[in-house]
Amino acid sequence: MVILTSLFLAATAALSALALPATQGDDALAKILQKRTTPNSSGCSDGYWYQFWSEGGGGQVTYTNKAGGEYTVNWSNCKDFTAGKGWRNATDRTIQIKGSFNPGSNGYLAVYTWTIHGETYILENLGPYDPGRSGGQHKGTLTSDGGTYDIYSVNRGNNYMQYWSIRQQKRSSGVVTTKNHYDKYNALGLKFDPAKDASYQIVSTEGYQSSGSSDITVA
């Protein structure tokens, strides 16, 4: 079992992807997002790839790898973090998610991919803050896996792109067919090839300036 705790003592003025409207995106924000290439910790855990990254700036985040595809996260008054389990390579997958998620005032549960050029979020559950409505361009909708997703694109500055699929019917357990989303992005002109354009693919818990918890199993 791997337990990672990040305790931040110094305040920081760094911007965060979660709270900043896209209209304020600039090179500074893009650089913060690009830092996710050097996580606090990453590696293999019982057959799955895990990733734990935190920005710093106050609060505490405790991430724990459990057996198989299970992990837990507990956070309190954190800055920005993302953590979860999945796969080192990104591809079209049918992903089973099961668990509980308490986002507090600002958090996400999503199938997440990252590269130095951008991110994708298939957002299954979230708190009151809706990232798509904060400066994102609404591109359309997708019906998949028993629900409807709103599709957004956001330029966070310096051509650092985010693609969002935000599920209207929030849930913390269920099946996610990633191919449906990636095909939809391409059909809408949002170029994305997971095999080439993503460094990893995880079911991520992410929080910003909030307190919450999650216990998620991925398969």
Instruction: Tell me the CA distances in angstroms from 64 to 6, 43, 50, 74, 75, one per residue in order.
Output: 12, 13, 10, 9, 12
Q: Specify whether the CB–CB gap between 80 and 207 falls below 8 A.
A: yes
Across the chain, which distance is largest between two alpha carbons, in Å? 45
CA distance 27 to 20: 13
Q: Does the active-site annotation cover 206?
A: yes
Q: Kindly tell me the burial class for residue 189, based on how many C-beta atoms sit within 10 Å of its own C-beta (0-12, 13-18, 19 or more).
A: exposed
Residue 191: CB atoms within 10 Å: 12
Q: Which of 55, 70, 119, 124 is catalytic?
A: 119
Specify the 3-state DSSP secondary structure of 33: helix
CB burial class (10 A; 0-12, 13-18, 19+) of residue 65? buried
Catalytic residue among 55, 70, 124, 206: 206
Positions marked catalytic? 119, 206
